[in-house]
Amino acid sequence: MAKITLQGNPCNTNGELPAVGSKAPDLHLVDGKLNDVRLADFAGKKVLMNIVPSLDTPTCAISTKKFNEHAAGSADMVMLVISADLPFAQGRFCSAEGIDNVIPLSLMRSRDFARDYGVLITDGPLAGITARAVVVVGADGKVKYSQLVPEIADEPDYKAALAAMK
């Protein structure tokens, strides 16, 4: 269990992020066409997971836009934004904001991803959705970087996450 805060108020996650150097847990998420997506779908590529509570919040929107700017033009990597939002809402957000380099994925069918990555908030007003985190998985399937953002309202460390993608 990790301790985080929401506007200074303490809350907890169900566990810890996967350790750097460990094999990344699989994921089972849903894309905008309601297809199941697994980590194996990105085999051989570096994967940045921008894990957010909801795209309908300012900080989540900002982080998605910033990662979108850095995702263009690299065939060997993929950037995901993962939230509890339904794929339809994610699609509307991405269309309205011109997000076309980041792949939005939803937890709509299962919270297993959130549990497996240790980011499921277990108490407080956001219980049942994800904490803010970034995980970078190398082309070899191993975790290269992870950050659980201690205050949900704060942005992640973009510089460190993007450095891990190199």
Average pLDDT of span 40-66? 93
| Confidence tier at 141 by pLDDT (50, 70, 90) | very high
CATH number of 3-164: 3.40.30.10
* pLDDT of the residue at 108: 96
Strand order in the sheet with 133-137: 36-38, 28-30, 102-106, 77-83, 46-51, 133-137, 143-148
- The one catalytic residue in 60, 121, 133, 134 is 60
Average pLDDT of span 117-144? 96
| Confidence tier at 70 by pLDDT (50, 70, 90) | confident
Are the beta carbons of 80 and 64 closer than 8 angstroms?
A: no
Whether this prediction's pTM lies above 0.85 is answered by: yes
Mean pLDDT of the chain: 94
Per-residue pLDDT for 47 more than 90?
Answer: yes
**What residue type is 158 in one-letter code?**
Y
The reply to whether 94 belongs to the active site is no
Domain range annotation of the chain: 3-164
Compute CA 8 distance to the chain's CA centroid, rounded to the nearest angstrom: 22
**12 φ, ψ to 5°?**
-130, 155
| Confidence tier at 74 by pLDDT (50, 70, 90) | confident
Percent of the chain with pLDDT over 90: 86
If phi > 0 it is left, if psi is from -120 to 50 it is alpha, else beta; for residue 109 that is alpha
Cα–Cα dist 71/68, whole Å: 5
Q: Give the helix ranges, DSSP H, for 28-131.
A: 58-71, 87-97, 112-116
Per-residue pLDDT for 44 more than 90?
Answer: yes
Cα–Cα dist 121/119, whole Å: 6
